[in-house]
Structure 1
Amino acid sequence: MNFSAVAHTYARFPVVLRLFLMVAFLVVTAGVTIHYIEPDTFPTVFEGIWWAIVTASTVGYGDYTPVTNVGRFLAFLVILFGIGVVSFFVTSLASTAITTRNAFKHGELSFKKDGHYVVIGWNERAKNTIAQLQQLNDRLDIVLIDQTMKQCPINNNMIHFIRGNPLEDKTLERANIEKAHTVVITANLHGHEAEADAKSIITLLAIKGLNTNIYSIVELLTPEQKNNCLRAGADEIIETSLLSSLAMVNSTLYHGITKIIYQLLDHQNDHMLLYDEVEKQFVTKTYCDCLLHYEGKSKLIIGLYRKDEVILHPLPTTVIEDGDQFIVIQSGGHTS
């Protein structure tokens, strides 16, 4: 055995773990030793270890007591050990717990899980996005990255806050972006729109450089940057200004239509807009055949999503292809 290598490995352990291993080793050693010194008083190794634990922790139940001078001397050493090392271990454990909690609260703790969702930038849209996702799945792991907040703005243990610049690799690595499922990049509405879009695109480039397979959703404020965003690898672009303008135009022409839009997009309502996978049995059949099959199933088919193309109200004779998805309005509550 290479003791130098073992000592080096041991030295790399966290302080609390090293203290725990030291306590465990000394307690077990003392328990085994007292068993062999006084086999009548401590007939089993377990009873010896039990005595060592209660003695080292200075509890001293008195159910086992050494009767020989050697045994009492060992007890003296265990008591001294308990006053020093065990007390220090408990103090260090409490200190580490507090330090870890503060690091988590202030965004200094790295995220270790995978398959999570990452939201970049703290604002009202990010707040509502996180709230909606958690209502759909309260066990969903969400990482929030922001450099302006001093601590996590949401009091929820399922939200992991990372404080730092999302343009820097070290910040993204702390968020474990390499193993994330989806990233949502929100725009900064407080500065110049073109600069906000440029920052979002650079952030996307940094993310794609670490994880090319992550599904990316980018909020843009100006249409001029849309092509650049697509070149950077955006899977989906949300043009906030365009969506707002279209909603205003439709509200002007058809009063109250935004109520319908909100209801279709809100998955907490009874009716919602979503994709539905086309079953294999419908491939090569017509759109009309699918409509007849879905009647009475609480799903209204309004179109097809085919290879990034939206086909609303296709012709009844349209043939369903492999990979198609139905665009449906579903009633009867949300599905997660």
Structure 2
Amino acid sequence: MPLFLKLTFKLLRLNHSLIVLLTLLLVLVSSTLAFLLEPDTFGSWFNALWWVMTTVATVGYGDYYPATVPGKVLAMLLYVFGIGLLSLLIGKIIDSLAELQRRREGGKLKFQGAGHVIVINWSKKAQLAVEELLASEAALAVVVVDDGAKHPFDHPRVHFVSGDPSSAEALEQAGIHHARSAIIFADPRIDDSSLVDGKSLLIASSIERAAPAVHTTVEIVLEKHILNFRHVQVNDFILSHDAVSRLAVRSALKEGSADLFTQLLSRTYGEDVFEVPADPAWVTYGDAFRSLLGMGATLIADRTDMGINRKLESPIPSDARLFVITDGETITKIRSERR
């Protein structure tokens, strides 16, 4: 019994590749031996392989079985060693899948994709942002980076990285060099507003140092810190609670306007803002406005300039970025026609 236990422990410590190799070798050698011992019984090497597989898998259909003593001895050896080795292989596979799931839930796996959006610091606002991102594009992947210990949003397209978001290791694990953009939310677990912005600033600096081409959006708690974020080349910033306050004021002073802004803020409700490629046939903003209006879209801006509808006779610059208000079906049609 001690010898058997020692052998068992040694088998359990074997790495996965070696167990796969031993199992494959056992099946192939046993199939060859079975066919050489009883060619009339099996008729072909494949039938012998079929018999070995049904034997070690404990299925035992009974369509083939050895008739000679050597063949039966081989079968008994398969009962002892073949079934045990295959069971060990299956157990290793199950353990590997379980370990993979544990590592995924614990944020220990590196993200392998590209063109994804990184969401940093988990909170209710971050959750809403992730839900909006998933609803915006069917194939978009989201990577959440937070120093929590468990996956905060279980979804096939949401990957979790556990660690300090300001560290190069965590950003590398999140695939920062291949990311489309990054959103840094204010950490709700910090009470001091200055410390909250300080952490966000440190994360933004780390992203700028690691991948300056990645578009970065940061939530800022105190307005006086805006200049600090401009210094680290943050692309966009949003003042915390500022949008909500302004929306409430507009609703109070201009009844019904809040719903318009809500539509523009959500990809899943009403109309939305989209960028459209410029048509070479458009010479002026007026040409673009009339053409897009005929297709069901309203031209509203060139980059951040929302006054272009008051200068429709002005020529469209070569570096223009035109934005329209329309729905998803219309923008898909417009983009397909621009190709």
What TM-score does the superposition give when structure 1 sets the normalisation length? 0.84
Mean Cα displacement is larger for which, 241-250 or 218-227? Answer: 241-250
How far apart, in 2, do the equivalents of 1:114 and 1:95 lie?
29
Q: 1:179 to 1:325 in 2, by over 3 A?
A: closer
Contact 2:293/2:299, CA 8 A, preserved across alignment: no
AA aligned opposite 2:152 = P
Contact 1:271/1:333, CA 8 A, preserved across alignment: no
Match of 1:326 in 2: 322
Post-superposition offset of 1:252: 4.8
Match of 1:99 in 2: 99
Three-state SS of the structure 2 residue aligned to 1:280 is coil
Match of 1:167 in 2: 166
Task: Please say if 1:220 is aligned against 2:220.
Answer: yes
How far apart, in 2, do the equivalents of 1:130 and 1:210 lie?
23
Unaligned runs of 5+ in 2: 1-13, 333-339
What is the correspondence of 1:35-184 to structure 2 with a 5 Å cutoff? 35-148=35-148, 150-184=149-183
Match of 2:8 in 1: none
How far apart, in 1, do the equivalents of 2:94 and 2:29 lie?
26
Q: 1:43 to 1:124 in 2, by over 3 A?
A: same
State which of 301, 315, 318 in structure 1 corresponds to 2:311: 315
Unaligned runs of 5+ in 1: 1-13
Three-state SS of the structure 2 residue aligned to 1:262 is helix
% identity of equivalent residues? 25
AA aligned opposite 1:111 = F
Q: 1:137 to 1:250 in 2, by over 3 A?
A: same
Post-superposition offset of 1:86: 1.2
Q: 1:125 to 1:152 in 2, by over 3 A?
A: same
Match of 1:289 in 2: 287
Match of 1:3 in 2: none
How far apart, in 1, do the equivalents of 2:141 and 2:286 lie?
41
How far apart, in 2, do the equivalents of 1:334 and 1:102 lie?
43
Task: Please say if 1:15 is aligned against 2:15.
Answer: yes
Post-superposition offset of 1:130: 0.9
How far apart, in 2, do the equivalents of 1:136 and 1:335 lie?
13
AA aligned opposite 1:61 = Y
Three-state SS of the structure 1 residue aligned to 2:118 is strand
Post-superposition offset of 1:128: 0.9
Contact 1:303/1:311, CA 8 A, preserved across alignment: yes
Contact 2:19/2:89, CA 8 A, preserved across alignment: yes
Contact 2:276/2:321, CA 8 A, preserved across alignment: yes
How far apart, in 1, do the equivalents of 2:271 and 2:159 lie?
31
**Aligned length in residues:** 317
Contact 1:269/1:333, CA 8 A, preserved across alignment: no
Q: 1:21 to 1:231 in 2, by over 3 A?
A: farther
How far apart, in 2, do the equivalents of 1:335 and 1:316 lie?
22
What TM-score does the superposition give when structure 2 sets the normalisation length? 0.84
Post-superposition offset of 1:265: 2.0
Three-state SS of the structure 2 residue aligned to 1:161 is strand
Contact 1:120/1:166, CA 8 A, preserved across alignment: yes
Contact 1:270/1:334, CA 8 A, preserved across alignment: no
Contact 2:298/2:326, CA 8 A, preserved across alignment: yes
Q: 1:334 to 1:315 in 2, by over 3 A?
A: closer
Three-state SS of the structure 2 residue aligned to 1:41 is helix
Deviating beyond 6 angstroms after TM superposition, the runs of 4 or more aligned structure 1 residues are: none
How far apart, in 1, do the equivalents of 2:18 and 2:114 lie?
28
How far apart, in 1, do the equivalents of 2:331 and 2:26 lie?
55
RMSD: 2.5
AA aligned opposite 1:298 = G
Q: 1:127 to 1:90 in 2, by over 3 A?
A: same
Please give the per-residue CA displacement for 1:121-165, whole angstroms capped at 9, x wherever unaligned. Answer: 1112111111111122343211111113x3223232222222221
How far apart, in 1, do the equivalents of 2:329 and 2:261 lie?
17
Post-superposition offset of 1:333: 5.8
Contact 1:287/1:314, CA 8 A, preserved across alignment: no
Post-superposition offset of 1:206: 2.0
How far apart, in 2, do the equivalents of 1:147 and 1:331 lie?
38
How far apart, in 2, do the equivalents of 1:91 and 1:332 lie?
48
Match of 1:8 in 2: none
AA aligned opposite 2:289 = L
